[in-house]
């Protein structure tokens, strides 16, 4: 189905046309094979980067396209509809560029053109084996030793852990709580950084997720981002943007599931007519279409607040919560529309359903989003 979009500029229309063309040519034909092999599509991401789609929200002086976030998210949605693992990789990479772009020194920002252009791939190292939702309780330590920080500890659930070229490491340089956390930018080749075996995940098989062990890794002190004690502020600020990226991915995935289910329901005949003509199924698809439109509107409304420089953390939490819960419902219903055919890998909806689940977990579980929203309500 064609999505009727209102975009701010003609350039934005051209970008979405480019994204659609690239997604149809480079992503859609390759997704199933890479997922089956569990192979990370590094060259595909380079292609996306060289097309200028990795740096859309960043400044032109750093190699970006200076596009509003509402445009970037709609590009992400289009890509997610063809291959979620690539769209999620772009969202994570955009998140990984954020600390340097927003809080870095002029010297650190010299790295941005290669980061934004896709020649360097990033990872965002916040979660730990014993501390996922409670990020302020992280235990990975960084001790100053001359002109370097010595980092020790373990990070968990790190997208791109085994394939990234740089890591944002959130670590404890001070006392307990959020004020003792800092952010370091480390190169992959740093001695003492040891990505572990990839996790065996339910979905996104082409996206490697793993723990990273830091064994007295020496990170140059000039790679400290934003000063000591700024890490938690950086992390939370980045996650607000990252949650919108995941919401957009959820919308794109759900749209793909709906489109496939509608196409199947138009063709599948039972009792002498197309199954889409049965109210029990047709109404189900109508609900899905409505939920997708609502999630898209909620996500873009939050993005427009961000673009206007207004507070948007609460709306980002709402968008992430609603869009990812919606994607889980819609992909599950798409499997049901196909019946037994939906349960086999011959059709992509079974993969869409498995992939949707992770979107309710990453960038803050949906329980955390509800906590953010309910606390805001309590404060009035």
Residues classed as catalytic:
363
Kindly state the tokens that stand for 45: 């991401």
Secondary structure (H, E, C), 115-175 = HHHCCCCEEEECCECCECCCHHHCCCEEEEECCEEEEEEEEEEEECCCCCCEEEEEEECCC
DSSP designation for 185: E
* Torsion, CA 315, CA 320, CA 325, CA 327, rounded to 10: 120
DSSP designation for 283: H
User: What is the C-alpha to C-alpha distance for residues 294 and 341, in angstroms, rounded to an integer?
Assistant: 28
User: What is the C-alpha to C-alpha distance for residues 353 and 333, in angstroms, rounded to an integer?
Assistant: 9
b/e string for 233-251 if b means 16 or more Cβ within 10 A? ebbebbbbbbbbbbbbbbb
* Torsion, CA 211, CA 215, CA 220, CA 223, rounded to 10: 20
3-state helix, strand, coil in the chain (%, to 5): 55, 15, 30
| Residue 38 contacts residue 45 (beta carbons within 8 Å) | no
Instruction: Give one DSSP letter per residue of 253-264, joined into a string.
Output: HHHHHHHHHHHH
First to last CA, the chain: 41
């Amino acid at each position: 189905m064609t999505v009727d979009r209102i975009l701010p500029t003609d350039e934005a229309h051209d970008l979405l046309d480019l994204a659609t063309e690239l997604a149809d040519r480079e992503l859609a034909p390759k997704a199933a094979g890479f997922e089956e092999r569990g192979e990370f599509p590094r060259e595909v991401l380079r292609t996306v980067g060289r097309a200028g789609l990795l740096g859309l929200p960043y400044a032109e002086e750093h190699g970006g396209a200076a596009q509003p976030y509402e445009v970037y998210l709609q590009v992400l949605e289009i890509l997610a509809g063809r291959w979620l693992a690539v769209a999620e990789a772009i969202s994570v990479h955009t998140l990984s560029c954020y600390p340097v772009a927003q809080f870095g020194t002029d010297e650190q920002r010299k790295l941005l053109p290669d980061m934004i252009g896709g020649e360097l791939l990033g990872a965002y190292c916040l979660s730990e084996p014993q501390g996922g939702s409670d990020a302020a309780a992280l235990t990975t330590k960084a001790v100053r030793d001359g002109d370097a920080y010595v980092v020790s500890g373990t990070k968990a659930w790190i997208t791109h852990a085994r394939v990234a070229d740089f890591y944002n490491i959130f670590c404890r340089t001070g006392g307990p709580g959020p004020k003792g956390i800092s952010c370091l930018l480390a190169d992959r080749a740093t001695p003492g950084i040891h990505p572990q075996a990839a996790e065996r995940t339910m979905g996104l098989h082409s996206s490697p997720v793993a723990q990273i062990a830091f064994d007295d890794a020496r990170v140059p002190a000039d790679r400290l981002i934003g000063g000591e004690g700024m890490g938690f502020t950086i992390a939370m600020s980045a996650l607000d943007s990252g949650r919108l990226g995941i919401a957009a991915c959820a919308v794109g995935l759900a749209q793909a599931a709906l489109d496939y289910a509608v196409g199947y329901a138009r063709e599948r005949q039972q009792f002498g007519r197309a199954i889409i003509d049965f109210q029990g199924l047709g109404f189900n698809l109508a609900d899905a279409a409505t939920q997708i439109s609502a999630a898209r509107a909620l996500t873009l409304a939050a993005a427009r607040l961000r673009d206007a420089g207004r507070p948007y953390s609460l709306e980002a939490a709402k968008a992430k919560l609603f869009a990812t819960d919606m994607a889980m419902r819609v992909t599950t219903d798409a499997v049901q529309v196909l019946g037994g055919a939906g349960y086999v890998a011959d059709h992509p909806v079974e993969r869409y359903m498995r992939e949707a689940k992770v979107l309710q977990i990453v960038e803050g579980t949906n329980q955390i989003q509800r906590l953010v929203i309910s606390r805001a309500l309590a404060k009035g």
